[in-house]
């Protein structure tokens, strides 16, 4: 697969990434991330919309790899629509999925202004508990502690930042 001038077949690229990961002798984070890094390098010159299409084709097979491909591509996150962000979040079924989605897709898109507050608030009242886990609600208003923790996690990567010495 080349990305310079040739069109990318998102389904074929997603299938190849999935095959490479499944062929690994160990499925741990480090070997899988090495595959993702190699593909991030290969896809770097590709248009953002092509990388979004690859991630959409990959998300049901290798969820966090799809998220990281978007996160590490210049312009891919800025290219996502609200509908695409929500499609990428469909199927979250554990804390790892929610954290990966929040830290590498929805959080950065929201922080950059590409995701309206209304969409995030809608997730907090979703019948799907994994969407609600992204942010918690109390009487349809985000609790101050949750807002503070989410803001801290988005800004520092830590739920509880180190306290400053006085």
Specify whether 68 is located in the same domain as 119. no
Which one, of 92, 86, 85, 82, lies nearest residue 70 by Cα? Answer: 85
DSSP string, 27-66: -SHHHHHHHHHHHHHHHTTS-HHHHHHHHHHHTTTSHHHH
Query: Is residue 70 domain-shared with residue 100, that is, in the same domain?
Result: no
Identify the domain boundary among 50, 79, 108. Answer: 79
pTM to 2 decimals? 0.79
Q: What is the pLDDT along the chain (166 residues), one digit of tens a residue?
A: 444 556 899 999 999 999 999 999 998 999 999 999 999 999 999 999 999 999 999 999 999 999 999 999 999 999 999 999 999 999 998 888 888 898 899 989 988 889 888 888 888 788 888 888 776 432 333 445 556 666 666 677 665 666 655 5
**Does residue 150 sit within a domain?**
yes
Domain coverage including residue 160: 94-166
Total structural domains in the chain?
2
Q: Torsions phi, psi of 47, nearest 5? A: -60, 150
Last residue of a domain, one of 49, 79, 109: 79
Model confidence pLDDT, tens digit, residues 108-118: 998 888 988 88
Q: Is residue 89 part of a domain?
A: no
With 0-12 CB in 10 A as exposed, 13-18 as middle and 19+ as buried, what is 29? exposed
Last residue of a domain, one of 52, 79, 106: 79
- Same-domain pairing of 57 and 11: yes
Residues 71 and 106 reside in one and the same domain: no
Classify residue 121: in a domain, yes or no. yes
> pLDDT digit string (tens) for 17-53?
999 999 999 989 999 999 999 999 999 999 999 999 9
């Amino acid at each position: 697969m080349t990305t310079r001038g040739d069109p990318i077949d998102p389904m074929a690229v997603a299938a190849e990434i999935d095959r490479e990961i499944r062929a690994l002798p160990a499925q741990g984070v480090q070997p899988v991330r090495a595959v993702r890094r190699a593909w991030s390098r290969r896809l770097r010159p590709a248009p953002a919309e092509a990388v979004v299409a690859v991630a959409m084709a990959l998300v049901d097979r290798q969820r966090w790899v799809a998220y990281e491909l978007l996160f590490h591509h210049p312009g891919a996150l800025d290219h996502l629509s609200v509908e695409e962000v929500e499609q990428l979040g469909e199927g979250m079924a554990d804390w790892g999925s929610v954290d990966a989605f929040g830290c590498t897709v929805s959080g950065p898109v929201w922080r950059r202004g590409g995701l309206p507050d209304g969409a995030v608030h809608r997730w907090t009242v979703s019948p799907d508990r994994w969407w609600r886990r992204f942010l918690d609600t109390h009487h349809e208003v985000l609790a101050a502690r949750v807002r503070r923790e989410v803001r801290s996690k988005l800004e520092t990567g830590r739920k509880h930042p180190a306290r400053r010495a006085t």
